[in-house]
């Protein structure tokens, strides 16, 4: 790693950001291993252009959920999967549908009460929409559009503006091929919570 990074001219701060983004996996180093190796790099040139040999301690196993969370912190996405997917089994048990299910279950009639969860990737409040707020949630299967009428947004405005992931309940609506949820209730979706703890924290929501 020393020989490769020394030739790039990149500073340590830039290399550490690359390490957090898991950019050194092609060199056989995970994000944490690369981070600590870069931390240990010497600034001066060593004799014969060779790095000092230091045996790094074995790092404890990093759970997949935490690895994904680290990826999102570093780059805003993860190639390992989607954090909502880790909660899918428990979300389904709580009556929460995936984006794919909502879009492809044509037999589900409009005004059916549904639940959906995901990362809030878009928030919009167009000036021509009379106070209506639109949110796009992303899960492991796609995206779902939410519609918040003015009174609902007023009730949950702090949650909407401060939470990166949301659990929404409301009525399923369709306009042609476009499917959206007319939101009646919102909760914060804690992606850092383990699936087992999540099951207790969010009891099943009945319509």
Q: Would you list the DSSP string of 136-181? A: EEEETTEEEEEEE-HHHHHHHHHHHHH-SEEEEEEEEEEETTEEEE
What is the mean predicted confidence (pLDDT) over 50-74? 69
Report the C-alpha gap between 89 and 200 in whole angstroms: 13
Q: Domain locations in the chain?
A: 2-60, 83-201
Look at residues 144, 172, 161 and name the one whose alpha carbon lies nearest to residue 84: 144
What is the pLDDT at residue 198? 46
- The CATH architecture to which 83-201 belongs is Beta Barrel (2.40)
Over residues 173-206, the pLDDT tens digits come to: 988 888 899 999 999 998 766 555 544 444 556 5
Q: pTM surpassing 0.85?
A: no
Highest mean pLDDT range out of 26-35, 54-63, 100-109, 157-166? 157-166
**Per-residue confidence band for 159, with pLDDT thresholds at 50, 70 and 90:** very high
What is the mean predicted confidence (pLDDT) over 13-30? 82
What is the pLDDT at residue 3? 64
């Amino acid at each position: 790693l020393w020989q490769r990074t020394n030739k790039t001219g990149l500073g340590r701060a830039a290399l550490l950001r690359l390490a957090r983004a898991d950019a050194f996996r092609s060199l056989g180093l995970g994000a944490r291993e690369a981070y600590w190796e870069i931390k240990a790099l010497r600034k001066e040139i060593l004799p014969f252009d060779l790095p000092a040999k230091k045996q790094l301690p074995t790092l404890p196993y990093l759970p997949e959920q935490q690895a994904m969370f680290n990826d999102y912190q570093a780059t805003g996405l993860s190639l390992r999967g989607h954090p909502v997917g880790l909660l899918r089994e428990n979300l389904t048990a709580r009556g929460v549908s995936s984006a794919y299910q909502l879009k492809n279950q044509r037999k589900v009639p409009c005004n059916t009460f549904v639940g959906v969860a995901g990362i809030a990737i878009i928030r919009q409040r167009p000036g021509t929409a009379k106070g209506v707020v639109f949110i796009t949630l992303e899960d492991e299967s796609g995206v779902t559009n939410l519609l918040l009428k003015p009174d609902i947004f007023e009730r949950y405005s702090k949650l909407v503006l401060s939470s990166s992931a949301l659990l929404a309940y409301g009525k399923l609506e369709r306009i042609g091929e476009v499917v959206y949820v007319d939101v009646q209730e919102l909760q914060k979706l804690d992606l850092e919570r383990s699936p087992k703890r999540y099951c207790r924290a969010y009891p099943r929501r009945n319509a």
